[in-house]
Amino acid sequence: MAEHNLWVRPIEEVGAADAPTIGGKSANLGELTRAGFPVPAAFAVTTDAYLDAMDAAGVRAELAAAAVPDPDIDDATLISTSAALAALVTDATVPDAMRTVIVSAYERLGPDVPVAVRSSAPAEDASDTSFAGIHESYTNIVGADAVIRAVQACWASLWSERARTYRGLRGVTDEPSIAVVVQVMVKSESSGVAFTADPRTGDVDRIVVEAALGLGEVVVGGQVEPDTYVVAKDTFEVLDVHLGRQEFRIESTDSGDSRVSVDPARRIRVLDDERLGRVARMAARIEKHYGHPQDLEFAFAEDELWIVQTRPITTLDPPTSAVSSGNGDARPLLTGLGAGPGTATGRVRVLHELSDGKRLGAGEIIVAPMTRPDWLPILRRAGGIVTDGGGITCHAAIVGRELGKPVVVGTRAATTDLRDGQVITVDGDAGVVFDGDVSAAVRPATTVSAPVRSDGPTTVTATAVYVNLATPDAAESVAATDVDGVGLLRAEFMITEALAGEHPSHMIAQGRREEYVEKMAEGVATIAAAFAPRPVVYRAIDLRSNEFADLEGGEVEPEEQNPMIGYRGCFRYVRDPDLFSLDLDVLHRVRNAHPNVHLMIPFVRTRWELRECLAQLDRHPLGSDPRMLRWIMAEVPSVVYWLPEYAKLGIHGVSIGSNDLTQLMLGVDRDSEVCKDLFDAMDPAVLDAIDRIIERASAAGLTTSLCGQAVSTSTDFAEHLVRRGITSVSVTPDAAVQTRRTVARAEQRILVDRARDADG
């Protein structure tokens, strides 16, 4: 048994020469710490600890014999054998003496301090192999027992199918071993990756930075499309800024990691020039220290810049395709970010899940929402890779480059615009996907630094402009206009159209539930596909009892004197869960193919009814989908009081229904011809309610929207909303263009006022 001090090494005592025993990640962190760079406190659990633990469990020899799989092994066998090997590791008991040493090192970091527990293999982060994302890492681990379990899980990831495949592809034949670094968590406000040479072009005079809000795992894991910045290495001049699209961020809190929704349409820079400059200068210093271009991960917390990882860039070969000005006959289908140089022509294979990989033929082009490192066993068979999301520094892009595959990421629409069997050419230098077999000689000139987006707005506004839709008929034509998504998709009109006006309960009673779900899902899916990846917010059925009564089979409806404030919305879902479950079934089916669709619950009056309604959602399979956003309509004045409590129940956003809110604030029927002079959405009482909804929602971290036409016609009203921090507005399609202009003018006036105040 090894001596105890060989199992754990403080990070400040190690450096690059120690990589064989503590892994590349730990060695680089120690090197940076000793050189005075800002690195969070950490310690390394050595490869000796792993090997000794496996020796003690009597499984080391069995593991070593299966280090690299047979190159001809089929996927199913690879998966099953790898799972069995990993189980040998997780079932092994950590020797008591080793556990004591690891726990003592953890306790020296602080009492129950949250840590990141990250794999650090000896060959990882080396000059020729990155192992980017191949082994597991775990964040926000708290407590001694949890740290031990996380260390074992990192050990086990040495035996995953992707790790075994990667070792085979990279020619690693030695007995595999693994170290682990345990590092104090940085509660990141923003984070990302910096390359001190452009990985797409090999240009060593540029620094490429990708950044997103929250923890950096969303960037390196390709979970979002990050901001991409290009900076000149000699002058640190900002050469290019490409704003990404982030739907959520991950925050580190005392109770663990939490997922917080972000409106992807708010095109606001993650890093301003000052912070970007700090990252670029730090990256340049680190490159100078190592004498080789670096790929580093950074995080900002309370305006302090931390470096949490660095490694040599393993892929700096010059581009292999010669993009010329040519004759321009080639037809670009999609543009994105060139993330893996070179070109490839092949047939499209759209894969939404790893389990679909068996359909991929050798040399076909993988088209996916995003590829992850665990896709490695099938990536090796692909001719090229095209994704909807991700950035050039995500793990999948790095692995794709190492495999020599042309990669285009961040196209936003590849899985909807391309079809199985279609022949395409992927240009990983220019970030373009062409129709058919296109030779370099006829490829039109393109630029890498400024990809063209077919779905980008003509006039850019920080405030998103959504549309209200009721049927799928016009979805395709509206989606082609300058809008950021669907802020209100009304279910009620599709009942009339798709179901010929039948009452949903009547169809259930006749045993035709599946027919209802299928027809409604077809309509919602048509809209979702047209707008993808832009969000579509589906409002659950909100017919009033008198409107339900007019449907076929509606005689079961109660008679109400004032249906507008009667049996509807959230309260009805609580009393009639079968009705609500129809909406949930529809969304669950649609989101399997179109994850851009989200749920909105209308007419919420009290906390208890929303709690019961959300409990129904949580019991449904749809409720286990963490990426589906939960919205509520804000039409009832009581929302002003209850909003902080609603936020605690787990909603992500509120949409202000200005017409209903005006009715209920002023006590006037908007349909009354006699009282029409009283109906005024600009009444100070209504504006005050809107202000307080936005203020309280923003304070709770919720996104905010407003459905109503006044914002399209009144610059004053638009400016009022923008000044209050509204996230988005949603209007009828015919008003969208004017609304964008109105909002833009309002934002410009605000900027002028701020500049004037600063000068004064």
- Give the Cα separation of 702 and 646 in Å (integer): 10
Owner of token pair 């529809």: 586
Burial class (CB in 10 A: 0-12, 13-18, 19+), 567: middle
CA angle 44, 46, 51 (to 5 degrees): 155
Strand partners, 250: 259
CA distance 743 to 518: 38
The DSSP string of 560-575 is -S-GGGSS-HHHHHHH
Q: At what angle do helices 144-156 and 96-108 cross, to 10 degrees?
A: 120
Phi, psi values for residue 447, rounded to 5°: -115, 145
What is the dihedral angle through the alpha carbons of 528, 530, 534, 537, rounded to the nearest 10 degrees? -40
Cα gap 261→264, rounded to integer Å: 9
* Distance between CA atoms of residues 593 and 189, nearest Å: 32
Q: How many residues does the chain have?
A: 760
Angle ∠(597,622,593) on CA atoms, nearest 5: 45
**Sheet containing 42-45: which strands, arranged edge to edge?**
8-10, 42-45, 179-184, 115-120, 137-141
135, 242, 395, 720: which is the annotated catalytic residue? 395
- Smallest Cα–Cα separation from 655: which of 531, 529, 538, 523? 538
Cα–Cα dist 495/325, whole Å: 52
Hey, which bits of 613-741 come out as E strands? Answer: 630-634, 653-657, 703-707, 728-731
State the distance between the two ends of the chain, measured CA to CA, in whole angstroms. 73
Tokens of residue 167, six digits: 């070792």
* Token pair in block for residue 463: 């405030």
3 state DSSP class of 201:
coil
Residue ranges of E strands in 369-503: 384-387, 407-409, 423-427, 432-435, 464-469, 486-490
Token pair recorded at residue 185: 């968590």
HSE-up of residue 134 (Cα within 13 Å, Cβ side): 29
Task: Look up residue 117 and give its amino acid.
Answer: V
CB-CB contact of 154 with 179 (8 Å): no
Instruction: Give the residue among 600, 632, 652 at the shortest CA–CA distance from 259.
Output: 652
Contacts of 46 (CB under 8 A, 6+ apart): 6, 7, 8, 9, 21, 22, 179
Tokens of 489: 């998709």
352 catalytically annotated: no
Cβ contacts of residue 512 below 8 Å, gap of 6+? Answer: none
Query: Contact, 44 vs 149, CB < 8 A?
Result: no
> Quick one: DSSP state of residue 502?
B
Q: Residues 288-301, buried b or exposed e (16+ Cβ, 10 A)?
A: eebeebbbbbbbbb
Look up residue 10 and give its amino acid.
P
Distance between CA atoms of 510 and 533, rounded to whole angstroms?
37
What is the spatial distance between Cα 219 and Cα 264, in angstroms, rounded to a whole number?
A: 15
Judge whether 632 and 660 are in contact, CB under 8 Å.
no
707 is catalytic: yes
- Catalytic residue positions, numbered: 395, 707
